Amino acid sequence: MSTIVIIDPASTEVNRGSFCYLPYILYNSMRREFYRTNLHFFENFTIPDINKLPDDKSIVFLVALWSYPQVEAALTLNKFLPGDVLFFGYYPLIKALGLREYRVDDTSILRGMRRYPENYGEFEHLLLSDCDMHLKKYPGQVVPLFTSYGCPSGCAFCPSTVNCDKSRIHLPVEEVRSMLDECAIYGVTNIHFTDEDFFFDPNRAYLILSHAARSKANFNFISLGSVSKVLLFIQRYGQQILHDAGMRLIEVGFETGDAELAKEMGKAPVARCEELARISSVPIFWLTLTFFPGETINTLNQTGQFLKEHGFKPEELYGRVRTNGTEGGLGQFFQPYHGTKDYEKIEELGKVLTTRPVRLIPSFIPYSFTSSKILFRKEPLPKDQYWFDLYKVPMLNWSGMDGFTVYKAVNTFKQKEEFCKYTETDIYVSAAISARLGHIV
């Protein structure tokens, strides 16, 4: 039997989702078929760890490449590892780098999803963005669990829908029920469903949640859902079943409060988000995206207004998630991924700051934002300092800059001595926060 070594290089990307979990899914899938001595998994791998690998040309190395900060490690491993070296993860990036691809097929993904409960104890770095319940009132560790994989929605900014060719695969309801039963046996009751849309089939979601509601495990669930499907679920089945099953939080990709920009992104109408915000008795964690091409001061104003009314207060959330779902938190920053809409002309749409983007640090500033004209509305309040401190950027006073573009204002601030320790990007982030809080319009 061949020896397989799965390597997941360390990444500065702290959020996982969809294909970012493929190293774990692949290990789960192969675990039973290979003896422990024939299957090895290196999590959070750094280049010095290369000395821990066997020097054997008969070994097959399967290297994960799911984020841009892993590129240098991937290229180094490709050059210096013995034997066959194949790459899986985000396939458009792998193709662009000219690396040999190992395609994790649907059968392997389904098998790997199904076997999660039996392998949780083997992983050290699995959790990342799924390590807590987001809401501070729910303590304890949280683990990820897939019941489906992929998404056909085709949002313009989303690499997941590109990577799965706009398709979705899913486990049968009876298998998901068995997974939940196994989780309960292992004492795993805090679960983050990592499906792109847990509610994609409302009837299926109802059958899964009904089983959880009958369990004595007292589950606490987080799930991701689209606005339209969550609304359809509530319309068909009401909300009591959500509470009975232990659904504590539903993440929804809101992205922006501007109707036109939402349309450009491929998101649901903002009016539908308003409807869900009004009727949902389960807390909604509104996920946002900042600096998508087309972002302006006004679009940020509208997102801030929505979250001021419907978002969380920072004190309700664990510290690491306060940058999302809140009035002043900018959420994830737009990243230009190979294969997504307009990737080939991205430099025409804005300033690319790095070719190694991560979701929580700006890597792109759209010209639509830099060319926005400023109208000073109000001075910042002392309580607003919290948001600027959260991002370690200066809180700026925009009085006297009416009619300036954001670009001109940023360069004006840069020339002042008190701001010399801040980067240009810092000041753009500060401007975005000011727009969210309504200091400028």
**Within this chain, do residues 169 and 298 fall inside the same structural domain, yes or no?**
yes
Q: CA 290 to CA 164: how far, in whole Å?
A: 24
DSSP string, 109-156: HHHHHHTHHHHGGG-SS--GGGSS-SBTTS-S--EEE-SEEE-----T
* Least reliable range by pLDDT among 7-21, 220-234, 286-300: 7-21
In a domain, 154, yes or no: yes
Instruction: Work out the average pLDDT over 366-387.
Output: 96
In a domain, 368, yes or no: no
pLDDT at 35: 64
Going by pLDDT thresholds of 50, 70 and 90, the confidence category of residue 252 is very high
Closest C-alpha among 212, 209, 213 to residue 230: 209
- Provide the 10 A C-beta neighbour count for residue 158: 21
**Within this chain, do residues 204 and 266 fall inside the same structural domain, yes or no?**
yes
With pLDDT > 70 as the criterion, what percentage of the chain qualifies? 98
Dihedral sign computed on CA atoms, order 393, 398, 400, 401: positive
In a domain, 14, yes or no: yes
In a domain, 429, yes or no: yes
**Within this chain, do residues 193 and 274 fall inside the same structural domain, yes or no?**
yes
- Provide the 10 A C-beta neighbour count for residue 165: 9
Which of 346, 364, 397 finishes a domain?
346
Amino acid at 38: N
Amino acid at 57: K
**Within this chain, do residues 166 and 244 fall inside the same structural domain, yes or no?**
yes
Q: CA 110 to CA 357: how far, in whole Å?
A: 29
59-97 per-position pLDDT tens digit: 999 999 999 999 999 999 999 998 899 999 999 999 999
138-147 per-position pLDDT tens digit: 998 899 999 9
In a domain, 323, yes or no: yes
Q: CA 260 to CA 262: how far, in whole Å?
A: 5
Which secondary-structure segment (H or E) carries 221? strand 220-224
Which secondary-structure segment (H or E) carries 365? strand 364-366
178-221 per-position pLDDT tens digit: 999 999 999 999 999 999 999 999 999 999 999 999 999 999 99
111-144 per-position pLDDT tens digit: 999 999 999 888 887 665 568 889 999 998 899 9
Structural domains of the chain, count: 3
Closest C-alpha among 424, 404, 412 to residue 297: 404
CATH of the domain at 244: 3.80.30.20
In a domain, 52, yes or no: yes
pLDDT at 86: 97
Full residue range of the structural domain in which residue 82 is found: 4-96
Which of 329, 346, 363 finishes a domain?
346
**Within this chain, do residues 90 and 138 fall inside the same structural domain, yes or no?**
no
In a domain, 86, yes or no: yes
Q: At what angle do helices 424-436 and 406-414 cross, to 10 degrees?
A: 130
**Within this chain, do residues 310 and 205 fall inside the same structural domain, yes or no?**
yes
**Within this chain, do residues 151 and 287 fall inside the same structural domain, yes or no?**
yes
Which of 346, 362, 386 finishes a domain?
346
pLDDT at 37: 66
**Within this chain, do residues 223 and 302 fall inside the same structural domain, yes or no?**
yes
Considering the chain, what is the average pLDDT of its residues?
94
pLDDT at 386: 97
**Within this chain, do residues 227 and 285 fall inside the same structural domain, yes or no?**
yes
Residue 177 has pLDDT above 80, yes or no: yes
**Within this chain, do residues 207 and 328 fall inside the same structural domain, yes or no?**
yes
Instruction: Work out the average pLDDT over 279-301.
Output: 97
**Within this chain, do residues 85 and 187 fall inside the same structural domain, yes or no?**
no
**Within this chain, do residues 188 and 300 fall inside the same structural domain, yes or no?**
yes
In a domain, 362, yes or no: no
